[in-house]
Structure 1
Amino acid sequence: MSRATGVPRRAVAAPAARTVPELLDWRCALHPDRVAIEVHGVDQLTFASWRAGALAVAAALRRAGVGPGDRVALVFAAREWTGYAVAYFGVLRAGAVAVPLSDRLAPAQLEYAVRHCAARLVLHGPLTGPAGPLPAVPTGVAPLAVADLVADDLAADDTGAPTPPARPGDLAQILYTSGTTGRPKGVGASHANLVAGAPNHPRRLALAHSERFLHAFPIGTNAGQTMLFNALTAKPAALTLPRFTPARFARLVTAPGTGTVFLVPSMAIELLDSGALRGRDTSGVMLIGSTAAALAPAVATRLATTFPAATIVNYYSSTEAAPAQTVMIFDPARRAAVGRPADGQLMIADEQGRPLPPGSVGEVWLRCPHPRSYYRDGPATEATFRQGWVRMGDLGRLDADGYLYLADRHQDMIKSGAFKISSLEVEAALHEHPAVGEAAVVAVPHPVLGSAVGVVLVPRAGHPPHELTLPTVRAFLADRLADYQLPARVLVAETLPRNEAGKVLKRTLAALFDPPD
């Protein structure tokens, strides 16, 4: 037995975990002294420390009156990933429900989430306490630092207290959507959903080619939660950094042992355009995974050139659909495809939810076992979740080989006269322009057509804005797009507004365009 964990050290295989705490127990038994999470230059967390800390948090929560099913909000900064991991698993160990929230939320956003889920309390780290940037929380919900919560437990070594066992179907997590199209919704996930597909044998640990996998995703996002569970179920340690900058990230990308890198398209573009990788040896990176938004084919091509030994993979999912997703290894012959289903099923359907044949454009649905649902929002749940299927909010089609091609988000499709224009298709063409660093396409009013294509561009480093005028952009796109897809308006900006998940806030961009004369 391990003195730190209280579980056998040499467990090799085990029945499939049915709850999240069981998954941590199993991994801790396998690798108690191995580093699970490292925040570069700040802190490290071994599996033994992770489990011991979670037990202490659970015991303290129970004494504080937190019981099964109670919601506990978690507000942590990017440099507090280790404390967040301990707090998250402690909440679940106590039978409560974890509600991860970004420390960068505005006060009104935090207050809405805490009130909506009726959180019993708010746990935070040392940098997000009363002396830090923790926004105000609703009256009656006192914020509490994790270190203060568990201080007595750790001193007393009170980690063996009995814990009410969670059941697979119990609610474990509420994760709020980014709210790009309206007020954020809380997406509830059960223990069974969160452990679906988890390994139960050390030979099945993912990313075995790496000693570390690198990411810079914020806490409180679906991508961040994926990294948290990767830290638990993959062979390499999770490596992150307190703040993303291209220079810092490039140093870690090319450090010995970094075999896998996860990023979102905006990070990929910033990293590639910064020149921070110039002269560095990138041959150690074997896998680059992109998520959260569509990866433009031109950007995927640049990644493949910069990382010649790496497989470039695009993951398509959502907070609602996880763990169901499509996975696409970048293929120049299928530049625009986003893959075939993994960990679930895929369907293209009409407005009534009836399957459509290959080649037909319709609504994209994903299906996985133990589906999620919206918390305290019956009408939205009914509209989005149907018999295990999740409406993705995207339009797309399947080819004869089952590869998914996205047409656009429902709300981003531009209806111009008799034509429907995909903003994704126009953005992909714009990324091929040598002076374009970032591009976003929105609908702008048109006196005759109703709507037309509006483009907001961020110049690539070293390229002045005058290279991206409306005439020059239209001329560049003339051989790549139909005439009705060409932009009617072009704006040049220093940055694109994005949410914590890296998605462009297109409603904000649309407001930048003045009405036509």
Structure 2
Amino acid sequence: MPPTTPAPRTVPDLLDWRASLHPEQVAVEVHGVATLTFADWAAESSRLAAALRARGLRQGDRVGLLFGARDWTRFAVAYCGVLRAGGVAVPLSDRLAAGQLEYALTHCAATAVLHGDDTPAPPVPAGLPVWTCADLLTETAREHVDAPTARPGDLAQILYTSGTTGRPKGVAASHANLTVGAPQHPRRLALAHSRRFLHAFAIGTNAGQTMLLNALTAKAGALTLPRFTPLRFARLIEAPGTGTVFVVPSIAVELLDSGALRGRDTSGVQLIGSTAAPLAPAVAARLAEAFPAATIVNYYTSTEAAPAQTTMIYDPARRDAVGRPVGGQLMVADADGNPLPAGTTGDVWLRAPFTRAYYRDEAANRATFRDGWVRMGDVGRLDADGYLYLTDRHQDVIKTGAFKVSTLEVEAALHEHPLVAEAAVVGIPHPVLGSAVAAAVVLRPPAGPDDLTLPVVRGFLADRLADYQLPARLLVLDRLPHNEGGKVLKRQLTDLFQT
């Protein structure tokens, strides 16, 4: 008989299970600021849930959670407290502009906002209650207030996308979606090789939420920083017990180029995981050199598709592959959604149990979700062994003359130049070709703008790319514009080329 899928659980159920197994273990630590054990996480989220119910929170009410990097422990309590009270958590970055914050809170019809204890009250729509965790956790006299029992199929979370291609959309996930695949036995806990896993992901991003769920499902505890700098991050990499490190490509590049790893012992790190954006093969190779004892893994997913993903262990023989599916299914299909044979380029789709959906956006749902499958918005192909190769994002493919140019391919080639730290490629208007290839790069110190000119770049790429793929414009920038999730904001780059 085929193996059966374990019955789905709720997030509070998962927390209570870990608290019963490992009450005194540190689940979340903000270095130098605060620690949170599983026992305290469960107890404080229960107290917060009771206070929320006493203040009128109803089943299914949405609560905005506005926390910064130093507030990860409070965020964890607030998140599970809202879910335990029967509400829906809406994680938001504390770096959102006032208009972005107002849009998200209005779109999801939030009934309240929780924020960090030491930060000023955020600007929210008029009449919306704003509380801190400290406000709620002091209401111990109301612990008797009953909270409804959440069910696995209930809505648990709305996470707003990064908005790299338009106004952010709220992606709704059920408890079952968030807990599917979670271990059922103490010996099955993830990241068992580590005492803690290190990351610097922002609250309010899909990568950040993955770290929060990792804290519930991994043997290792979560470790993060109140503020990322390469030197602080490198010190924690070297600290005893740090066996796993999660990065986005921009953090990896900054860490490698800063010199912060120079002379450090990285032998304790056994896993480097990169997510949120494409990891250029040249950067993966540098990570493998800097962490010789570690397995370098690239994860490919999206806010909409999680927890479905592909994983790729760095393999010089398959430099451009993004892996095979884990925890779901993978398909490359034609425009009608019909599977295509290996080697044929088409739309990339992922599928996992308990699919997510856009909140209050049926038109977008029809375009993205189909029979449990999620259209990734990427173009790619599968090889005969089932490995996925991405060509580009649909909207990023550059149509120049009679050719289509993959920006990912050009970016990967640019990363091979010894002076290039980061690279991003966009299409810009051209009066004859329709669009032309334009590249923006950040140089490794101490190189300056005069050290890398367009003729030099084109000469370097001539043996790596076809002539129609070579950049017609070059911008040397101090930094590329990134969103909170680490993705390059290509619309902003396009505007820079127009000025």
| TM-score when normalising by structure 1 | 0.94
Task: Indicate if the aligned counterparts of 2:301 and 2:309 stay in contact, CA closer than 8 A.
Answer: yes
What is the CA distance between 1:162 and its match in structure 2? 3.2
Look up the equivalent residue of 1:427 and give its one-letter code.
E
Matched, 1:146 2:133: yes
What whole-Å deviation, never above 9, does each CA across 1:226-269 have from its counterpart, x for those lacking one? 00000010001100000111000000011111000000000000
Matched, 1:80 2:71: yes
What is the CA distance between 1:292 and its match in structure 2? 0.1
CA distance in 1, matches of 2:10, 2:136: 24
Match of 1:504 in 2: 488
Match of 1:202 in 2: 186
Percent sequence identity over aligned pairs:
72
What is the CA distance between 1:125 and its match in structure 2? 1.0
CA distance in 1, matches of 2:162, 2:35: 29
Match of 1:378 in 2: 362
Task: Indicate if the aligned counterparts of 1:16 and 1:198 stay in contact, CA closer than 8 A.
Answer: no
Task: Indicate if the aligned counterparts of 2:8 and 2:152 stay in contact, CA closer than 8 A.
Answer: no
Match of 1:304 in 2: 288
Matched, 1:104 2:95: yes
- Aligned mate of 1:471, from 455, 473, 478: 455
Matched, 1:262 2:283: no
CA distance in 2, matches of 1:101, 1:16: 30
Match of 2:474 in 1: 490
Match of 1:67 in 2: 58
SS at match of 1:83: helix
Question: 1:28-427 alignment to 2 at 5 Å?
Answer: 28-130=19-121, 134=122, 136-153=123-140, 156=141, 159=143, 161-427=145-411
SS at match of 2:496: coil
SS at match of 1:512: helix
CA distance in 1, matches of 2:466, 2:451: 22
Superposed structure 1 runs of 4+ greater than 2 Å apart: 127-130, 158-163
Gaps of 5+ in 1: 1-14
CA distance in 1, matches of 2:419, 2:109: 48
CA distance in 2, matches of 1:115, 1:161: 28
What is the CA distance between 1:111 and its match in structure 2? 0.2
What is the CA distance between 1:127 and its match in structure 2? 2.9
What is the CA distance between 1:161 and its match in structure 2? 4.6
Task: Indicate if the aligned counterparts of 1:129 and 1:145 stay in contact, CA closer than 8 A.
Answer: no
CA distance in 2, matches of 1:429, 1:329: 20
What is the CA distance between 1:17 and its match in structure 2? 5.1
What is the CA distance between 1:448 and its match in structure 2? 1.4
Match of 2:3 in 1: none
Task: Indicate if the aligned counterparts of 1:442 and 1:454 stay in contact, CA closer than 8 A.
Answer: yes
Task: Indicate if the aligned counterparts of 1:52 and 1:159 stay in contact, CA closer than 8 A.
Answer: no
CA distance in 2, matches of 1:420, 1:210: 44
Task: Indicate if the aligned counterparts of 1:16 and 1:199 stay in contact, CA closer than 8 A.
Answer: no
What whole-Å deviation, never above 9, does each CA across 1:479-500 have from its counterpart, x for those lacking one? 0001110000001110101100
CA distance in 2, matches of 1:17, 1:170: 11
Look up the equivalent residue of 1:28 and give its one-letter code.
A
| TM-score when normalising by structure 2 | 0.98
SS at match of 2:139: helix
Task: Indicate if the aligned counterparts of 1:103 and 1:128 stay in contact, CA closer than 8 A.
Answer: no
